[in-house]
A and B are shown apart, each in its own frame.
Chain A
Amino acid sequence: MMIAFSAASVLGQQAKAPQFVLRDINGRTVRLSDHKGKVVLINFWATWCPPCRAEMPDLVKLQREYAREGLQIIGITYPPEKLDRVRRFARNLKVNYPIILGTRQLKARFSSEETLPQTVVINRDGKVSEIISGILLHEEFDEKIKPLLMKNGEGEIRNVKTDH
């Protein structure tokens, strides 16, 4: 599944997000660099993790509602899982964003913390603005992600819907 990813980096807030080129569960190539200028959420999850499963319908909804504002979610399974199980799961939930089968190595590029789910928030400049441990709460989306969506590439304020 993995094609390539960048050299090791220590990730802290405002660190440049490690670049990767991977194939998703449908065989499509996913490059982080393709989403330059967007707000990217990299969601580490597992099919056996109840909070991960619980938050996925919300992520699907957020992807649908905020795509026009420049939100792009990328799901990465962690630890490694079987492709057919992940595919079935994604199909049942009508997941509308790319899902990649992750590896321990890939996860370690972003965070050493083992909590699941875990969401790495990357701003429009390609920098890590936040690593959210545990289920993504609506309040967290409003406080930590929506402000990033409100700014365009030049840092100007845009109109972003207020409900989700």
Chain B
Amino acid sequence: MLRRITNLVVGGVLVLTLGVITAAAFTKTVTIKVEGMKCAKCSGSVAKALKATEGVETAEVSSDKGEAVIKYDDQKLDETKLREVINKTGFKAVEQPSQ
């Protein structure tokens, strides 16, 4: 009985660890320069549109720095899609070499 419980606990921990490792492996963070975010009043739309996109986990947008820091699931979308979402808000995601 004790052995069975131990096996169950060990199995559960393994599954959980694997799940965390897998999720972490799929999560990427990218910083995208955004042109035109001169007014703080209107740059909120960038964060709003990004956060509403499936696969985006977090999006921090700074009009001062002119950039968006996005954490996303790279199994669900890629940087190209993120740039499209930004461009649809009327600003321009600047193309730059991948880091």
Contacts and interface: CB of A to CB of B under 8 A. Distances in A.
Given A51-B90, A54-B90, A116 B48 contact: no
A116 B41 contact: yes
Contacts of B39: 48-49, 116
A48 B90 CA distance: 11
Given A49-B39, A115-B42, A135-B49, 9 more contacts: A48-B39, A51-B45, A51-B89, A51-B90, A133-B44, A133-B48, A135-B45, A137-B49, A137-B52
A48 to B, nearest CB: 8
Interface in B27-47: 36, 39, 41-42, 44-46
B41 A115 contact: yes
Ordered nearest first, which 10 A-B pairs have the shortest CB separation?
A50-B90, A54-B90, A51-B45, A135-B45, A134-B45, A134-B48, A49-B42, A51-B90, A116-B42, A116-B41
Contacts of B89: 50-51, 54, 135
B1 to A, nearest CB: 51
B76 interface: no
Contacts of A55: 90
A84 interface: no
Interface in B67-89: 88-89
A135 B41 contact: no
A109 interface: no
B93 to A, nearest CB: 12
A97 B44 CA distance: 25
A46 B89 CA distance: 14
11 contacts: A46-B42, A49-B42, A50-B90, A50-B91, A51-B42, A53-B90, A54-B89, A116-B41, A133-B44, A135-B89, A135-B90
Contacts of A139: 52
